[in-house]
Structure 1
């Protein structure tokens, strides 16, 4: 059994790559980019489970999915679990794998070289809230898309200016009534969302307000 800390898994995700995708968010991130909309995924050690249990869930969705998107948190900080998860995915589905990391490419290149064929495209670089946000599939324009396989060529379609459609968000609700979003919002979208709900008399707490526990 391979231990892994997971924030959430979901299907379908339609805002982080082409088609209806399985999404896996790793829990734990030491990079902690200022302005990150996923501060709830920073603290390590939450959501402990096993890769095998995650794969059992993914197996329920694999036949209807067009690929897998891995994000976080920081997936490459659980490198052994990441490789085990992706090897298992390759047994479940021919769908392409897109991974997001806050590390620059040079930092993850050794893992990619040691695990050929597990990731088809990787988006690298930290979120920089001071940088422009004009390109699709990126929180900030400093982030770079690297195609790693022939199957990954499908992701090259996102090397283009972002449109309004690229800023759509998938909305999910958990058993406790909390809502969370998958996708890449435009700068200020969540602040406008909060202000709009407050104007209607609702109390809104976002993960970047709560912050991670230490």
Structure 2
């Protein structure tokens, strides 16, 4: 029997969360809930329930054209059984690299990430910290760490151990069947405020999913 997974969305191509044209898989449900997170819509558990078979079936047509796969959320390690099952299926279907984003520190996920060698090539660990600077490639805040778990991960992601360039401060734009707009990538702290103000000047309104609690001073995206 195929494993159950709570999924927020999938998309291809994603060009802002790792090298090349990537398949993006976002898990639904997050127990970490970082202050300032831009993806509060992925926090609630129990939504988007589907199966690993259905996810694999949906992304299989994209695999021949994909340079890599990025898994984010939500929090992937909140669903360890589903994450492991998905990773195993992906490895049986493609040689593309696999990058995982987690809000847990490396010390907490290291054992799980290394328990099945070869399934994850690189992993970005650590919670988004709204009080940290935002200067490093592939990271929403500078406290987050990039780890290489395989030789492929080292080859594909070693070049990201550096400051983010201006060219990389871009976002992928996606549209769903309901007319909602999704952004994939790592925006600057004030990017969505500027977008909201620009739209309001044009007579339109923008409703975003970022954490608006008073303690929040910024935003994160993956």
1:8-157 matches, cutoff 5 A: 8-153=9-154, 154-157=156-159
Shift of residue 110 of structure 1?
1.6
CA distance in 1, matches of 2:138, 2:98: 14
Shift of residue 210 of structure 1?
7.8
1:22-77 deviation per Cα after TM superposition (whole angstroms, max 9, x unaligned): 00000000100010011110001100000111011121110100010000000001
Does the 8 A contact of 2:39 with 2:211 survive in 1? Answer: no
For 1:196, the equivalent position in structure 2 comes to 198
> What is the CA RMSD across the aligned residues, in angstroms?
1.1
Consecutive unaligned residues in structure 1, runs of 5 or more: none
For 2:162, the equivalent position in structure 1 comes to 160
Shift of residue 166 of structure 1?
1.4
For 2:217, the equivalent position in structure 1 comes to none
Shift of residue 187 of structure 1?
1.1
Give TM-score, length-normalised by structure 2: 0.93
Give TM-score, length-normalised by structure 1: 0.96
* Residue in structure 1 matching 2:180, options 155, 178, 181: 178
CA distance in 2, matches of 1:78, 1:65: 24
Q: RCO higher in 1 or 2 (8 Å CA, sep ≥ 6)?
A: 2
